[in-house]
Amino acid sequence: MISLLFCASVLAISIGQTEVIYPSLETLASGMKRMKFRAFDQDMELNLEPAGDVISDNFTIIYSEGKTQATDVESLKKRLFRDPEKGSALYISEKGLTEIEGVINSKLRIEPYETREVAKNEFKAHQIIRTFPEDKHFSDAMINFNMEKSYSERNDTNVNGDECVEIEYLFLAENNFAAKFLDSEKLQVYLATVFVQVQTLMDTLNLNIKLRLIGTVIYKDNPPFFQGSLIPGQDVLNAGNIMKNMSNFLCKNEENELMKQADLVMLITINQIGYSSPSGMLFPSVIGVSYLGGACDPCKKCALIKDDGRAFSTAYLIAHESAHLIGSPHDGAGPIFSFPGSPTAVECPPFTGFIMGNTFGVTASMFSKCSRENIKYFLSKNEASCITSCNSTTL
């Protein structure tokens, strides 16, 4: 039986306002880009650095039936940029008219806008979309399968707290999620910009953690582990059952090259996720599920992410569940809800608004000091042995 530990938070996002703009873009000798635009009566300037290193040179797109799709990885990497100070993650295509899409910050995003107006300065019209949090409560579920285990210090594989380490990700794109996009290229652009944003969020741990996306598996039908995962009579995935079935699926496919190589496997879906109470009451409000300290475990290195179509909130969820997988409990958690022997998170109140808290506050784009210490502790353990130092990894 799987025990789910829930953390309620406010993370629902609604579209508030849109404005059509024609941004300017300057490429500097350093390779950085300076982007300027005016929207909602504000002048904005982004100093964008190349961010393609989050994509592995050997990145692969594969369909569930085994067909591999040819991917121009070099072009994808060259078109990814970020402004870590502003929290921007953008895909910039300068083939023909310049097109930009992605995250400006936690409240603004940008995408090309179809219009009959003449382009200005080789730029298509773009739409800035401002979003606002809704007053709705959603839940994240964490599964602590470590309660009865004991752990020992690493020996020769110990990773120093200041040493650069690399975490390799594999995305599983559920069929309904994948079908939202015009083609696999549009899907990958979205996931790539999301992943750039995840790196920016993980950087706030100050642990020199580098992320690499090694591949995406695209499902044309329901993934096999969806069978038996729905709440009876409802089109809602049971949070506990789907994780159990996904874990079993990973175990059975342990020899699959991509799944074997990945340190973390993320299933991205648009399906509702929830649970039912003993009385039968339905709670379809779960937006993320993962195993605490599951990274590197062949069967438990997985997480479930509910995508709402907005890159920042999806990146936020991936960062949140990633932190669980590499040892961080929710802020405020004591020993029972923390990785065995870890510092716990009792010194960080959950209401202060960090990524692992239960409110979406001004620090929502940052991890707390407790998350940092718990993840640093996990990385010192044998159970994190798959997470290697950066200079020992082949991209």
Q: 126 among the known binding-site residues?
A: no
Q: 137 among the known binding-site residues?
A: no
Give the per-residue SS3 of 332-359: CCCHHHCCCCCCCCCCCCHHHCCCCCCC
Q: Nearest-CA neighbor of 340 among 376, 290, 374?
A: 374
Residue with tokens 């502003």: 86
What tokens were used for 31?
A: 């390779």
Average pLDDT, the chain: 89
Active site residues: 321
Angle in degrees, CA 232, 253, 199, rounded to 5: 85
Per-residue pLDDT tens digits for 145-163: 765 454 444 443 445 556 8
| 11 has a pLDDT exceeding 60 | no
pLDDT at 64: 87
Per-residue pLDDT tens digits for 344-374: 999 999 988 899 998 776 677 899 999 999 9
Pairing status of strand 80-83 against strand 24-27: unpaired
- Taking the C-alpha atoms of residue 121 and residue 369, their distance in angstroms, rounded to an integer, is 45
Other Cβ atoms within 10 Å of 41 Cβ, number: 6
SS3 state at 198: helix
Q: Which residues pair with 141 in a beta bridge?
A: 6, 289
Q: 330 among the known binding-site residues?
A: yes
* Separation of CA 87 from chain center: 14
pTM for this model (two decimals): 0.92
CB hemisphere CA count around 320 (13 angstroms)? 32
Per-residue pLDDT tens digits for 199-249: 999 999 999 999 999 999 999 999 999 989 999 989 999 999 999 999 999
pLDDT at 146: 67
